[in-house]
Amino acid sequence: MNQGIPFISIVIPAYNEERRIGKTLQAIDAYLAKKSWTSEILVVSDGSSDGTVNIVEGYQKLTKRLRLIANKENHGKGYVVRQGMTEAYGSLRLFTDADNATPIEELEKLLPWINLTQENKSNVSDNQGGYDVVIGSIGLKQSAVEKKEPIFRVLAGKGANVLIQFLILPGIHDTQRGFKLFTAPAAEKIFPLSRIDKWGFDMEALALALKFKFKVKEVGIRWIHDAESKVKASAYFKTLIELFKIRLWLWMGIYNK
């Protein structure tokens, strides 16, 4: 895309999502088509071995706003989100999950809080600005959760968040929701420095945002649990290991190098 800078880029990491990616692309493209914004959708395939790439390529024939990065090897969600957020062109950059668990319309709740350039202020009539990173959350009173997760995931998530707040992200109640909006300056500073390739990348990105004095806002959103979610119980333990790595790296000044 070389016809100016899009107002917003929607980055979608995808690994073997042939059953869900088509419906998600339809929903996001239909939403963007109703807006006056310039926009792009960037799907980053994480070495998918099913029909994900073929489906996305098919949709590229239907909409000019869709781009695809098709990695040959699997690296992890953090790797492909980093890749997408650094290769996106938008003044704003949202990453969202391939299952559309947070409906794209929830973007309307994030946009009023994000910092906009003067030329983009007309795109959001109720924009108050003030924040460089605005994250969707199911940890606030304003949140709405449909089709709740299994109890083991709820309890594991709550327990993990206690540690996350204590060690690196005080005051943030839900770090792991895949619906986060960044200004281009924030994305271009944070993601090239991130190191986590797996599930802990969300925590790392937010920790770096705070380290570099970017203002972060947590906003309650509507979220629908998908029974086909790829997050297994073991992912919580691996994410906790990554949490301690991030804490250590911050202490050692690794991100300053």
CA distance 156 to 161: 9
Residue 144 sits at φ, ψ, to 5 deg, of -135, 115
Mean pLDDT computed over 200-208: 97
Mean pLDDT computed over 12-37: 97
CA distances to 85, 89, 184, 246 from 205, rounded to whole Å, are: 11, 19, 14, 10
Mean pLDDT computed over 197-208: 96
CA distance 238 to 243: 9
Mean pLDDT computed over 48-55: 98
CA distance 110 to 21: 23
Query: In a 3-state reduction of DSSP, which class is residue 63?
Result: coil
pLDDT at residue number 232: 60
If you average pLDDT over every residue of the chain, what do you get? 92
pLDDT at 233 over 60: no
CATH code: domain of residue 232: 3.90.550.10
Helix (H) or strand (E) holding 206: helix 201-211
pLDDT at residue number 2: 44
Position 2 in a domain: no
Give the structural domain span for 96.
8-256
Whose CA is closest to 69, among 241, 82, 61?
82
pLDDT at residue number 161: 84
pLDDT at residue number 83: 98
CA distance 29 to 157: 31
Q: Considering its fold, how many domains does the chain have in total?
A: 1
Position 188 in a domain: yes
Mean pLDDT computed over 39-55: 98
Position 51 in a domain: yes
Mean pLDDT computed over 119-144: 93
pLDDT at 187 over 70: yes
Q: What's the pLDDT band for 104 if we cut at 50, 70, 90?
A: very high
pLDDT at 17 over 90: yes
Position 215 in a domain: yes
Whose CA is closest to 42, among 78, 85, 11, 1?
11
CA distance 155 to 217: 24
Position 244 in a domain: yes
The single residue listed with the structure tokens 């300056």 is 185
Position 133 in a domain: yes
pLDDT at residue number 151: 62
pTM: 0.93
Contact between 12 and 93 (Cβ < 8 Å): no
pLDDT in tens, 139-186: 999 999 886 666 656 666 677 888 999 999 999 999 999 999 999 999
Mean pLDDT computed over 107-135: 94
Q: For a pLDDT cut of 70, what percent of the chain falls above it?
A: 91
Mean pLDDT computed over 104-118: 96
pLDDT in tens, 22-31: 999 999 999 9
pLDDT at residue number 153: 62
pLDDT at residue number 1: 43
Position 1 in a domain: no
Position 159 in a domain: yes
